[in-house]
Amino acid sequence: MVSNKTIIITGANSGIGLEAAKIFSNREAHVILAVRNLQKGEEAVKSIRQANKGAKVEVMKLDLSDLESVRAFSTEFISRFSSLDILVNNAGVMAPPYEKTVDGFELQFGSNHLGHFALTGLLLPLLKKTPKSRVVTLSSIAHRGASIYFDNLDGSKGYKSMKFYGQSKLANLLFAKELDQRLKQHGVNTISVACHPGITSTNLFKIGKKDLNILKRLLKFFFQRVEMGVQPTIYAATEETLKGGEYIGPDGCGNRAGNPAIETPAKTVYNEETMDKLWEVSETLTGVVYDFS
């Protein structure tokens, strides 16, 4: 199903991204690990090739907290590749101390949402020309109860790390839905699907340089292993019955663990006014205007 297809996975040097890269490469896809740390990326490639010597995997530099890096990555990728079958917007930062990106955005909103928004828009020309291409964007159950703080996107009027993490994950979900709607409106055959891994043990559970090992030990019976946490991503990227606009998550209690299934967000989540405003703000902040023609 993904044999010989070209797949980009952001943040693929560890966690869900690395596990997805292993699975896709085992299915004979050409996988690009788009990562901020090239050394860690090369280590990830080595680990993949240890289990699969013929894996078609490579590393490319991408720092989602720096729009110049996003543009450089996109330019290089388009110069080297003639198609893009699947873009997996996976990379994320969770609950760091207050920090801004190179471009002055709050780190979580800037990296988790705006970086991926810009990346997807810049790669849209290749996605449009690739038959049955799709964009998969990872959200989180942290989107529940979250809001987009349009009057405080940079956190300068007050910042709470988990509150702003929730904002970034809600933005991911709204972006995925709005993107699919706009693709359909313009007759583009690319689809956009959102997903989330439930509660999975990954290196997201770090705050700054502090590893939450105590929390991980306390909650080990509630976390699912990364081998299960990756399944919604794989499903969102490969399931042929998906039409676009779906949200895939684990089917267990509270959607925290289980097998991948279509999940229905709360009725208030997909607010059209909020989605339109988020899109407009994102284009303004990143300078990336989508060309659906």
Would the pLDDT of 77 be above 60?
Answer: yes
Would the pLDDT of 222 be above 80?
Answer: no
What are the backbone angles phi and psi of residue 25, rounded to the nearest 5°? -70, -35
Q: Which of 149, 159, 165, 235 is catalytic?
A: 165
Query: What confidence score (pLDDT) does residue 203 get?
Result: 54
- Please tell me the distance from the alpha carbon of residue 47 to that of residue 41, in angstroms, as a whole number: 10
286 Cα distance to chain centroid: 17
**pLDDT for 227-236, tens place per residue?**
999 999 999 9
Would the pLDDT of 82 be above 60?
Answer: yes
Token digits for 193? 């699907």
- Please tell me the distance from the alpha carbon of residue 37 to that of residue 63, in angstroms, as a whole number: 8
Percent of the chain past pLDDT 70, that is, above it, reads: 92
- Please tell me the distance from the alpha carbon of residue 269 to that of residue 170, in angstroms, as a whole number: 8
Would the pLDDT of 216 be above 60?
Answer: no
**pLDDT for 176-187, tens place per residue?**
999 999 999 999
Residue bearing tokens 């055959």: 189
121 Cα distance to chain centroid: 14
Query: What confidence score (pLDDT) does residue 206 get?
Result: 44
**pLDDT for 249-285, tens place per residue?**
998 887 878 999 999 999 999 999 999 999 999 999 9
Query: What confidence score (pLDDT) does residue 253 get?
Result: 81
- Look up the pTM and report it: 0.93
Residue bearing tokens 């990872």: 138
**pLDDT for 104-153, tens place per residue?**
999 999 999 999 999 999 999 999 999 999 999 999 999 999 999 999 99
Confidence of residue 200 (pLDDT cuts 50, 70, 90): low
Which candidate, 24, 247, 278, places its Cα nearest to that of 136?
Answer: 247
Query: What confidence score (pLDDT) does residue 1 get?
Result: 86
Token digits for 172? 């991911």
Told to judge if 165 belongs to the known catalytic residues of this protein, a careful annotator would answer yes
Confidence of residue 78 (pLDDT cuts 50, 70, 90): very high
Task: Calculate mean pLDDT across residues 3-23.
Answer: 97
Query: What angle do helix axes 272-286 and 161-185 make, rounded to 10 degrees?
Result: 100
Q: Domain residue spans in the chain? A: 6-286
User: Is the alpha carbon torsion for 217, 219, 222, 226 positive or negative?
Assistant: negative
Confidence of residue 13 (pLDDT cuts 50, 70, 90): very high
Contact (CB, 8 A) for 75 and 125: no
Contact (CB, 8 A) for 167 and 225: no
Domain range 6-286, CATH class:
alpha beta
- Please tell me the distance from the alpha carbon of residue 250 to that of residue 5, in angstroms, as a whole number: 26
Query: What confidence score (pLDDT) does residue 254 get?
Result: 77
Query: What confidence score (pLDDT) does residue 181 get?
Result: 98
Query: What confidence score (pLDDT) does residue 207 get?
Result: 42
Task: Calculate mean pLDDT across residues 73-86.
Answer: 98
Distance of CA 274 to CAs 95, 105, 202, 229, 234, Å?
23, 19, 30, 29, 29
